[in-house]
Amino acid sequence: MTQTNTAIEFDEVIAVCRSLFLKKTKDYGTAWRILRPSSITDQIFIKAQRIRTLEEKKVSKVGEDVTSEYIGIINYCVIAMLQLELAGDAPYELPFEQVEQGFEEKVQETRDLMFAKNHDYGEAWRDLRISSLTDLILMKILRVKQIEDNEGKTLASEGVKANYQDMLNYSVFALIKLGVR
């Protein structure tokens, strides 16, 4: 596959996520603003853990597949990155246009990072199993939890934003491999 195909596939997956994110923003507003960073991380953990459980047990008792969970991870990663930028005194309710613009900015930054890494790694993600992508997401979540427990202090590691970006990209890769468009 060429980089052009990855760009198209990435954009198609994000279009699905964006549509749901913006519909939920119209339904609920920005109620997610109440969440502390650690709570957002825990929400991502719950979704990734559910994916892993479904991968291992191959049966869902609530009739949902992993697709909605990967979409949820992508959207929670965007929320996390937005929360990192918003001041603590920012209002809970944000204008729809601001949220929409913020979504676009965070996704574009993350997309740019993905293409920089793809250049260096030669799209190695295409040879990974979906279960490996799930495990990588879980590992990144555990890293973020440790950074949060250390009050954001790191000695040699990238910060939480880079980890959220990686989780977002791994989720996009999984959805591409699952044929979501």
Domain count, the chain: 1
The one-letter amino acid at 112: D
Q: How far apart are CA 124 and CA 30, in angstroms?
A: 36
The predicted-structure confidence for 41-94, as pLDDT tens digits, reads as follows 999 999 999 999 999 987 666 666 899 999 999 999 999 999 999 977 789 999
What angle do helix axes 96-121 and 3-28 make, rounded to 10 degrees? Answer: 160
Contact assessment for residue 172 and residue 88, using Cβ atoms and an 8 Å cutoff:
no
Range(s) of the domain holding residue 85: 3-177
pLDDT of residue 88: 72
